[in-house]
Each structure stands twice: as structure tokens, then as C-alpha cells.
């Protein structure tokens, strides 16, 4: 675990788009917390998958969905992890990423569901708000474009080619995550974070129109 922690920490040092080491760190902590609540999960799989889940994001590898699983496999082989562990972690990473509002995930195991929920919880709430604006700024997208249409995406290609404002991203993705949680603990934790985002958007629109 500590070798993997160092590897991921080094790899994400200097990343400032919200996909940084601290995202990996928070997802790792959240995943451990959910695993303790849910009981019965293999903690080694949960922790490795949490740390490695964004190791090579398909969005930054020309949409190559296999980039992440491949990179994780390479790393786990280099530290001589068990073949079964490698296969399981690789499968979780392949299936965890949000690929559009009408594209469902394919997570089969409790360990996968836990890491999925940990990752999505870090996309909502106060941290989620911070991350969406960091991402939008880093990718030269506006904070808000009044009148912009919210698209629903049936394929990952549609999702990837859209370049919405940060506020539109709330509607395209962040506000949908609460109902896509896969564990009881994740669902419960998502409620407060979701309400916080709704409040934020209410304030945002009120201020935008010159309100108090
Ligand atoms: P996932 O972990 O589900 O694969 P992503 O890597 O797509 O999530 O996104 C991570 C975070 O980056 C999101 O929670 C969001 O804050 C931000 N982000 C991703 N896509 C966009 C976008 N189109 N506009 C603004 N922020 C985005
Ligand atoms: Ni992530």
C-alpha cells in the first residue's frame, strides 16, 4: 500500500485541475470509511482501486478507456501483486468513470461499488463545487452561460465532445450523482452534499440577477 501511495502521490504532484493527489487521497479515505460501514469488502482491493482509479483518465488519453486499467495493471505487476488482485482492481477502474447521464456503470462487486461511491462523493458537496470551477478554469470554460441547454448524453462520445459551462456541468452530472450511488452508506452521505450544492446554485442565480 505504501509503495502505491508514493507512486500515486508522485504522479499527481503538480496537477491543479481538481484531479490532483488530494482527490486520490480523499477518495482513499472515503472508500475506507464506506468499506467499514458496509462490512465484508476486501480492504486491499478497495484501497488499491481507490488510489489508482484515476491513474490514466480516458478523457486525457484521447478517450482511450483502456488507458487507466492498463496503467494500473502495469504498476501492480511491477510490485508483484497477486493476479486475482490485479484483475479485480483493473476491472473496477475500467467501470468506475462517469460516461454520460444515460450511460450506466457496470460495477459488479461490493469493492467496485464502494470505490465508485467514494469517487462520486468527492465530485459533490463543497469539494465538488471547488473542483468543478477548478476544472472549468483549467479547460477554459466559462463559469456560467445563461440560456445554455443541458444535454443528456447517450454515449460517452457525446459526453466528451460537449464543452459546457461549470453551472451546466452541475445539471449534466453533479446533480445526478445522488441517485446513482451504489451503496447504502454512499446514498446516505450524498444527501447532505447534494443539498449543499442546490443551496449554492440558488444563491448563485440570485446573485447573478442582482439579488442579495
Ligand atoms: P469521474 O471521476 O466520474 O470520471 P471526471 O473525471 O469526469 O469524473 O470528473 C472529475 C471532476 O472534474 C468532476 O467531478 C468535475 O468537478 C470536473 N469535471 C469533469 N468534467 C467537467 C466539465 N465538463 N465541466 C466542469 N467540470 C468538469
Ligand atoms: Ni476520481
Is the CB of residue 4 below 6 angstroms from any atom belonging to ligand 1? no
Is the CB of residue 20 below 6 angstroms from any atom belonging to ligand 1? no
Model pLDDT for residues 129-164, shown as the tens digit of each residue: 999 999 999 989 999 999 999 877 777 777 677 789
Is the CB of residue 98 below 6 angstroms from any atom belonging to ligand 1? yes
Question: Which range (63-72, 159-168, 199-208) has the least confidence?
Answer: 159-168
What's the CA-to-centroid distance between 63 and ligand 1, angstroms? 14
Residue 114's pLDDT is 98
47-58 burial, b at 16+ Cβ within 10 Å, e below that, comes to: bbbbbbbbbbeb
Position with higher pLDDT, 64 vs 121:
121
What's the CA-to-centroid distance between 205 and ligand 1, angstroms? 22
The whole-number average pLDDT for the span 162-187 is 95
Q: pLDDT-derived band of residue 105, with 50, 70 and 90 as boundaries?
A: confident
CATH number for position 78 = 1.10.3210.50
What's the CA-to-centroid distance between 33 and ligand 1, angstroms? 23
Output the CA–CA distances (angstroms, integers) from residue 69 to 3, 32, 94, 110, 112, in the order listed. Answer: 18, 21, 6, 18, 13
Determine the residue of 15, 16, 18 to mutate for testing ligand 1's pocket, defined as the one with the most ligand atoms within 8 A of the Cβ atom. Answer: 18
Cell of 10: 508522485
Distance, in Å, from the CA atom of 92 to the CA atom of 118, rounded to the nearest integer, reads 13
At residue 30, does pLDDT exceed 80?
Answer: yes
Nearest CA to ligand 1 atom 1: 97
Max Cα-Cα span within the chain: 59
Share the mean pLDDT of the chain.
92
What's the CA-to-centroid distance between 148 and ligand 1, angstroms? 18
Q: φ, ψ for residue 177 (rounded to 5)?
A: -70, -35
Question: Which range (21-35, 49-63, 151-165) has the least confidence?
Answer: 151-165
- Name the domain count of the chain: 1
Nearest CA to ligand 1 atom 17: 132
What's the CA-to-centroid distance between 82 and ligand 1, angstroms? 31
33-43 burial, b at 16+ Cβ within 10 Å, e below that, comes to: ebbeebeebbe
Contacts of 60 (CB under 8 A, 6+ apart): none
The whole-number average pLDDT for the span 44-54 is 97
Residues of the chain with pLDDT > 90, as a percent, come to: 76
Is the CB of residue 136 below 6 angstroms from any atom belonging to ligand 1? yes
Residue 17's pLDDT is 73
Distance, in Å, from the CA atom of 114 to the CA atom of 140, rounded to the nearest integer, reads 32
At residue 103, does pLDDT exceed 80?
Answer: no
> Domain residues for 121?
2-208
At residue 172, does pLDDT exceed 80?
Answer: yes
Amino acid at each position: 500500500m505504501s509503495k502505491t501511495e508514493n507512486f500515486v502521490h508522485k504522479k499527481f504532484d503538480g496537477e491543479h485541475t481538481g484531479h490532483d493527489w488530494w482527490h486520490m487521497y480523499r477518495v482513499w479515505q472515503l472508500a475506507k470509511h464506506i468499506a467499514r460501514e458496509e462490512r465484508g469488502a476486501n480492504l486491499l482491493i478497495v484501497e488499491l482501486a481507490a488510489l489508482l482509479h484515476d491513474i490514466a483518465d480516458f478523457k486525457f488519453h484521447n478517450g482511450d478507456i483502456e488507458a487507466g486499467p492498463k496503467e494500473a495493471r502495469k504498476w501492480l505487476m511491477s510490485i508483484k501483486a497477486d493476479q486475482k488482485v490485479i484483475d479485480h482492481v483493473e476491472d473496477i477502474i475500467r467501470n468506475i468513470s462517469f460516461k454520460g447521464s444515460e450511460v450506466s456503470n457496470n460495477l459488479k462487486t461490493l469493492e467496485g461499488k464502494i470505490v465508485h461511491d467514494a469517487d462520486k462523493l468527492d465530485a459533490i458537496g463543497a469539494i465538488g463545487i471547488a473542483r468543478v470551477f477548478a476544472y472549468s478554469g483549467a479547460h477554459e470554460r466559462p463559469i456560467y452561460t445563461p440560456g445554455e441547454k443541458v444535454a443528456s448524453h447517450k454515449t460517452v462520445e457525446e459526453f466528451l465532445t460537449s464543452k459546457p459551462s461549470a453551472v451546466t456541468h452541475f445539471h449534466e452530472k453533479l446533480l445526478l450523482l445522488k441517485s446513482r450511488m451504489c451503496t447504502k452508506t454512499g446514498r446516505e452521505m450524498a444527501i447532505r452534499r447534494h443539498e449543499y450544492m442546490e443551496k449554492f446554485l440558488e444563491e448563485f442565480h440570485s446573485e447573478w440577477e442582482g439579488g442579495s
